[in-house]
Amino acid sequence: MNTEQFPSVIDTACGNGVSFTFDDGPHPTHTPRLLDVLRWHRVRAVFCLQGDQVERHPEIVRRIAAAGHPLGNHSMHHDDMSAWTPERIAADLCETDAAIRRALPTARIPYFRAPYGAWGRSPAVAASLGMRPLGWRLAIADWETPGTDELVRRLEEGVTPGAVVLLHDGGGDRSQTVDAVDRVIPILKARHYRFTLPETDR
Spatial distance between the Cα atoms of 137 and 165, rounded to a whole number of angstroms = 6
* Spatial distance between the Cα atoms of 48 and 168, rounded to a whole number of angstroms: 9
pLDDT single digits (tens) 163-188: 999 999 999 999 999 999 999 999 99
Catalytic annotation, pick one of 23, 92, 97, 142: 23
Catalytic residue among 27, 69, 78, 168: 168
Q: 30-41 and 175-190 are packed helices; what angle lies between their axes, rounded to 10 degrees? A: 10
* CATH of the domain spanning 7-195: 3.20.20.370
- Concerning whether 77 is annotated as a catalytic residue, the answer is no
% residues pLDDT > 90 (the chain):
90
Report domain extents, the chain.
Answer: 7-195
What pLDDT is recorded for position 1? 41
pLDDT digits (tens, 9 = 90+) for 123-172: 999 999 999 999 999 999 999 999 999 999 999 999 999 999 999 999 99
Mean pLDDT, the chain, whole residue set: 93
Per-residue model confidence (pLDDT) at position 182: 98
What is the percentage of the chain residues whose pLDDT exceeds 70? 93
23 included as an active-site residue: yes
Beta strands in the chain (DSSP E): 17-25, 46-49, 71-73, 111-112, 132-133, 138-139, 164-168, 194-195
Q: How confident is the model at residue 10 (pLDDT cuts 50, 70, 90)?
A: confident
